[in-house]
Structure 1
């Protein structure tokens, strides 16, 4: 249209009419181009956004099902970076990167076709620099991919450092480590800046090279096309149209560079996401046949020839454990730190995977029990309490799908949490902050205990659940729990023998081996490891009592 408009205008008889006709046609063409570009941009961007949401949901869902051993080595900040920055890079590749490719292909095909129609030989000479483009893209693409991946990994390290620092800000300030933390962050940030600057340098070289190639084509057209116009073998309109189409090729050339950028970043990010998705999920999430007709779990627990070794460990954490816990009884597990007490209950919960036919509930191998049925049957209070941001009520009701909301008061009363709740202005609706920052250690443990109680499970596991409460509060909790645990199988782990002395059975672990079991009276009479521990704790209490009587701290 530009060609026709100029050539027609140069002919005196058609000049006035062409000044109306061709601008109108050009305006119509631009409007149509804008409409179709709008349509495909909406579709491509919408597609990329849906893919981003689906991929993020899939990665998060996969993380929820990975074994605990994976999180022992993975950094939380790194995983957060993969869920945010890396998925964003993939979305950019699928969105604007795909759009740029579609746009470039359409414009290149359209422009080249018309250029060849106008002047095939001039089109041939103007395209001589084009074969250099794949060579440049291939050479720089390799370097950009490597440095993009390194930069994203460094960003993950920086995110992990910040997350760990803020999570432990109390310890940082209590030990006056602010400057050390600042220096550590500065070192990581400087390395990130160095890698980012080198990546920027690569792009700073790459983009001008692409523009130089476009400039070479324009130079060829100016020289050869200008000569043809002067010789009369090419009209001015054809020359202007040809240079216009050549100018339209500038964006596709730039789009190739931009898409190369997005491709390298997107593929680097996608490879990091694939590392997460390729990690096998925990066997506890494998589907098992439904058990709708199965009788309710009574709570009989048996450990049969159980041996367990953590991944990468030299020695087993548990060695040939044989133990039967009848339904409705209280079994206490005691022993030195690191003797395998928590490992034993973690295996019962299938937080780690035991060998086949080593742990049974009501005579059924727990690996043959549907995961949901096993989880609903166990109320668990760990020694490492974790509370989520939200209200006290939300944290107590966590996971209690079979617990009525109106039983929150009762669960809090049994856990001796009500006196603390009454001091809060909003009661159970009090927001406790991230990780329960507004609660004391004892209040956190009692909240976690109420969370287990409200489920009304047939099996209750208390893993050192009273370590942060004073002896008087512990006695009150135990009195309330005694009634609650009647008819429920209870596994009670504690370092305080005063907590476990009334248990139906006491098991003593040392270095992963079960060396003693029996009632408190039986073990004292045996004068073994349990007796020695009992004697040391009694002596420590007597010394503490004498110190208080003398007024010493």
Structure 2
């Protein structure tokens, strides 16, 4: 239950609503407990000489107090339930905002379906606790408090008989509540599994259909859904047994009340009106006592849900802004510098992906990185915007260690196009303009021209207002790549990183894009990863990586003259091109 303490800051934020709600709970219970007194008085009047006016007066007061109780109950819901919705709103915003701060390593180890489940199903369970859970818990306490006082004023002996089931009830709530919590957590985990499967299947529907795996995926879903169904049914049976047990216990508690009340009436210590009041009070306690089980279930669900949510809220980003700041270390013409950088992925520290990498990139220079698959090319460029931090060495931009630059400032200076293209289900214009906070239309057009996308877009019926499907499904592979390049160019970054971002375009378009980059962004430093020699040969410097170290570097002609690793890659690619042309 201590996990629910995370919610105290939200409860404090809406303390006025909660205080007003609690005050209304007190008033609704005061009026609810006072009302039966007039029923008892009306019943006693019927044993004497009475007029209809006297009966109507008593019943009228009963109706008035019952109506006042109902009005305050409405105000209870307007304060506590409304507060729970406001807290749910804040929780969802905080949850989503926190997800935006987490590092890539977190998402590498957590499935999308799990995050969606926690942000929907678990948050709803917490909301139920904050609303009905709190409201009925407080209402049960005051209903029991005021009703028991009213019963004691009528007959302490009869009150004792009415409360005989209380210890058994408390023990039952405790034991069954623990079982409910285990079952609830298991249900929430099953729901997360279903959500993850659905998300994966919808995202990968084209692969599923290509391999005719529809029936197998339907069977996977059926098994998960059956497991989820069985767990929910098991919990429902436990709840049904609990509520049935409580109802039976309350019904049985009326037997000694009526029996002892009858004896007291015969002895003249109680009136029929007193007995009528007492039966009403015992019945009035039925829902609060039964609701103990329901509220217990809500609290158990919320405790399990908040435990899962706290796992997310307690996750910390690996990469954060440093409190340290420093001026440029040196006066240098280098815009970007690697100084003896080494890196290993978390959890696999024994394998160094990069080892002792050092090089400089000047403002406006074009540098290519080539090498075999797994040589560390993508890892190297991921260190520049601090997707990861190096284990050893340092990376400088303008002479400053990037760890002393605020993340927002650092990343605003870098245009990054990763290997995997991602486009939002938005217009082409909004996708290109995504990182451009000024939202200038001219920048969108200019960026699309540099990326050789403009003519393609103008051929669409809605041009730049063309809506893209999920992940840009209605664009070709080359158009997706060029849209992503245009997005990186729209804010005119100081450093442009293209991680194999031209693989889906032909060599002619590739040459056009490269030429436009040189003409339109002469001051932008370009760091290019590519497997095509035709792409990289016009760069100022080519860095060849092998097994995480720089094997050689220089211009295209210089490297060919060395007749080493780069020359081998070049000759191999020439041979592949010749074979391809013959075929």
TM over 0.5: yes
Q: 1:15 to 1:6 in 2, by over 3 A?
A: farther
Aligned counterpart, 1:550: none
Q: 1:305 aligns to what SS in structure 2?
A: strand
Distance in 1, matches of 2:144 and 2:226, equals 42
Distance in 1, matches of 2:495 and 2:135, equals 57
Distance in 1, matches of 2:243 and 2:550, equals 69
Q: 1:192 aligns to what SS in structure 2?
A: helix
2:182 is equivalent to residue 146 of structure 1: yes
Q: 2:46 aligns to what SS in structure 1?
A: helix
2:64 is equivalent to residue 28 of structure 1: yes
Q: Of residues 308, 313, 318 in structure 1, which corresponds to 2:343?
A: 308
Distance in 1, matches of 2:262 and 2:322, equals 73
Q: 2:367 aligns to what SS in structure 1?
A: strand
Q: 1:59 aligns to what SS in structure 2?
A: helix
1:385-410 deviation per Cα after TM superposition (whole angstroms, max 9, x unaligned): 11111100010000111562222111
2:38 is equivalent to residue 6 of structure 1: no
Q: Of residues 262, 275, 279 in structure 2, which corresponds to 1:239?
A: 275
Q: Of residues 171, 195, 198 in structure 1, which corresponds to 2:207?
A: 171
Distance in 1, matches of 2:323 and 2:83, equals 32
Distance in 1, matches of 2:203 and 2:283, equals 55
| Contact 2:342-2:355 within 8 A present in 1 as well | yes
Distance in 1, matches of 2:341 and 2:355, equals 7
Number of aligned residue pairs: 543
| Contact 1:218-1:246 within 8 A present in 2 as well | yes
2:141 is equivalent to residue 105 of structure 1: yes
Aligned counterpart, 1:123: 159
Quote the offset at 1:201 in angstroms. Answer: 1.8
2:350 is equivalent to residue 325 of structure 1: no
Quote the offset at 1:352 in angstroms. Answer: 1.3
1:419-456 deviation per Cα after TM superposition (whole angstroms, max 9, x unaligned): 22122111101100121111111111110111011111
- What is the RMSD of the two structures over their aligned residues, measured on CA atoms? 1.8
Aligned counterpart, 2:17: none
Quote the offset at 1:76 in angstroms. Answer: 0.2
Q: 1:299 to 1:3 in 2, by over 3 A?
A: farther
Q: 1:298 to 1:110 in 2, by over 3 A?
A: farther
Distance in 1, matches of 2:231 and 2:333, equals 60
Distance in 2, matches of 1:509 and 1:285, equals 30
Q: 1:284 aligns to what SS in structure 2?
A: coil
1:273-328 deviation per Cα after TM superposition (whole angstroms, max 9, x unaligned): 0000111123334566699x99xx98711111111111122412111111122222
1:126-151 deviation per Cα after TM superposition (whole angstroms, max 9, x unaligned): 10110112211111111110110110
| Contact 1:445-1:468 within 8 A present in 2 as well | yes
1:512-553 deviation per Cα after TM superposition (whole angstroms, max 9, x unaligned): 111111111111111111111111000000111122xxxxxx
Q: 1:339 aligns to what SS in structure 2?
A: coil
After TM superposition, the structure 1 = structure 2 runs for residues 202-281 of structure 1, keeping only pairs within 5 Å, are: 202-281=238-317
| Contact 2:321-2:404 within 8 A present in 1 as well | no
Give the TM-score of the pair, scaled to structure 1: 0.95
Quote the offset at 1:224 in angstroms. Answer: 1.4
Distance in 2, matches of 1:298 and 1:17, equals 102
Distance in 2, matches of 1:382 and 1:263, equals 45
| Contact 1:452-1:460 within 8 A present in 2 as well | yes
Distance in 1, matches of 2:483 and 2:334, equals 24
| Contact 1:356-1:367 within 8 A present in 2 as well | no
Distance in 2, matches of 1:36 and 1:348, equals 61
Q: Of residues 232, 237, 242 in structure 2, which corresponds to 1:201?
A: 237
5+ residue gaps, structure 1, are: 548-553
- Runs of 4+ displaced beyond 4 Å: 285-291
2:431 is equivalent to residue 391 of structure 1: no
Q: 1:273 to 1:336 in 2, by over 3 A?
A: same
Distance in 1, matches of 2:180 and 2:41, equals 45
Give the TM-score of the pair, scaled to structure 2: 0.90
Q: 1:356 to 1:535 in 2, by over 3 A?
A: closer
Q: 1:243 aligns to what SS in structure 2?
A: helix
Aligned counterpart, 1:341: 377
Q: Of residues 551, 568, 579 in structure 2, which corresponds to 1:532?
A: 568
5+ residue gaps, structure 2, are: 1-37
Quote the offset at 1:55 in angstroms. Answer: 1.1
Distance in 1, matches of 2:321 and 2:438, equals 21
Q: 1:515 aligns to what SS in structure 2?
A: strand
Q: 1:144 to 1:298 in 2, by over 3 A?
A: farther
Distance in 1, matches of 2:324 and 2:498, equals 28
